[in-house]
Amino acid sequence: MRRTAAVLAVLAAGAVILAALNSGTRHGHLDPRSADPTGSRAVAELLKERGVTTRVVTTAREAADATGPRTTLLVTDPDRLGAGQRSAIRSAIDLSGGRTVLLAPGDHSLSDLSPGVRTEGDAGSDDLDPRCALPAATSAGRAGTGGDLRYTTALPGATACYPSGGHPTLLVLPTGTTGGDTVLLGSETILLNESLAEQGNASLALQLLGSRPDLVWYLPSLADSDPGTGPGDQDKSLLELIPAGWSWALLQLFLAAALAALWRARPLGPLVTEKLPVAIRASEATEGRARLYRKAGARDRAATVLRAATRERLAALVGVPPTRAHDPAVLVPAVSARLTGEPRDVAALLFGTTPSDDAALVALADHLDALEREVRTS
């Protein structure tokens, strides 16, 4: 059993350490600091090589304050924003004069962030051709903009690219401020580490996010969410809230516990009696316990043990049942009837008070021994 506990403890410690080490690099979905397949560290590093600085923010107020003519604002989950956050982002779009990229916005957020645009369902295929005059699209060529949302709009000046079924998956809309624009990208595929090297994804991502020297990467936090509205705010299960590293650690612990239970539940043969490595004589054990009692000054405990043992032996000698051995009304008369010598206070010896000092305890032991010897020889 101890070996099993030790094995489980080692497995648990290893799993916790592994999860802790992995948690340092797992920042989450579409996070520019994450090297996970669904992170976006690769595109952030490429932008850095091109002289674009990336700043991660988690609140709409930080995002709005950081915008300007030299800034690109990327909103990774627009549908998660509450009404106040959408209003702040909309004001930044209208006044900054920079670029705002909305990643896969649905109708829930389009009404505030990009009025006049609505969704047209999912795109049929993942990789699409540009089929537009946008320089970034024509330079990148075929890219993974499909597989998610398509859009439609009648706004003047809109540039529609990468159509699927007649509806674009990428829209570029001019804003009220000169030089500013808003990009609606229906799919997140071109920003993910696992798909950045496919088709023209890297080229399109760099041109959409690298047109200004500063990039503000807005990852909405729970505080910025709008409870009860939007697909991004549905209640999540407990497993969905556990980080990926801890999920793997818990799975490893569960498997280890199941294997240990199967191992211990299966009989591997008859029990084997092991010989003790050292045989200790009863007298030595008695002396050792006596020294412990003396060191602790436990005369009451020592006297109790001496009297209880004597009562049990005397009960067997005089025919008193073991269950009545500690009953003075039964044991004392039976023992007294066996005594032939000088009168003894049997009740005081067998059921008396605690000795006041060590000498009295030794005397009690001698008297009990003499009493038992007399009954035994009578």
Mean pLDDT value across residues 218-244:
63
CA–CA dist 230, 260 (Å, integer): 45
Q: Does the pLDDT of residue 242 top 80, yes or no?
A: no
Structure tokens at 251: 């799975």
Whole-Å CA distances, 66 to 24, 49, 102, 106: 27, 22, 16, 24
For residue 226, what pLDDT band results from cuts at 50, 70 and 90?
A: low
Mean pLDDT value across residues 345-356:
88
Report the pLDDT value the prediction gives residue 149, as an integer from 0 to 100. Answer: 92
For residue 267, what pLDDT band results from cuts at 50, 70 and 90?
A: low
Strand order in the sheet with 99-103: 53-57, 214-218, 71-75, 99-103, 181-185, 167-174, 159-164
Burial of 18 (0-12, 13-18, 19+ CB in 10 A): middle
For residue 240, what pLDDT band results from cuts at 50, 70 and 90?
A: low
Whole-Å CA distances, 373 to 29, 164, 235: 87, 109, 82
For residue 158, what pLDDT band results from cuts at 50, 70 and 90?
A: very high
Mean pLDDT value across residues 302-308:
89
CA–CA dist 169, 142 (Å, integer): 12
Report the pLDDT value the prediction gives residue 281, as an integer from 0 to 100. Answer: 81
CA–CA dist 171, 185 (Å, integer): 7
Query: How many residues comprise the chain?
Result: 378
Mean pLDDT value across residues 130-137:
93
Identity of the amino acid at 20: A
Q: Does the pLDDT of residue 11 top 70, yes or no?
A: no
pLDDT digits (tens, 9 = 90+) for 272-294: 777 777 777 877 887 888 788 88
CA–CA dist 185, 144 (Å, integer): 11
Report the pLDDT value the prediction gives residue 230, as an integer from 0 to 100. Answer: 43
CA–CA dist 11, 240 (Å, integer): 24
Helix, strand or coil, per DSSP, at residue 31: coil
pLDDT digits (tens, 9 = 90+) for 51-66: 999 999 999 999 999 9
CA–CA dist 128, 141 (Å, integer): 9
Mean pLDDT value across residues 24-30:
65
- Among 69-83, 175-189, 343-357, the range of highest mean pLDDT: 69-83
Q: Which of 275-284, 355-364, 366-375 has the lowest mean pLDDT?
A: 275-284
Q: Between 296 and 76, name the one with better pLDDT.
A: 76
Mean pLDDT value across residues 369-375:
88
The pTM (predicted TM-score) of the whole model is 0.56
Structure tokens at 277: 């490595």
Structure tokens at 65: 């304050």
Using alpha carbons only, give the angle 45, 49, 53 rounded to the nearest 5 degrees.
Answer: 70
Query: Are 218 and 67 contacting, i.e. CB atoms less than 8 angstroms apart?
Result: no
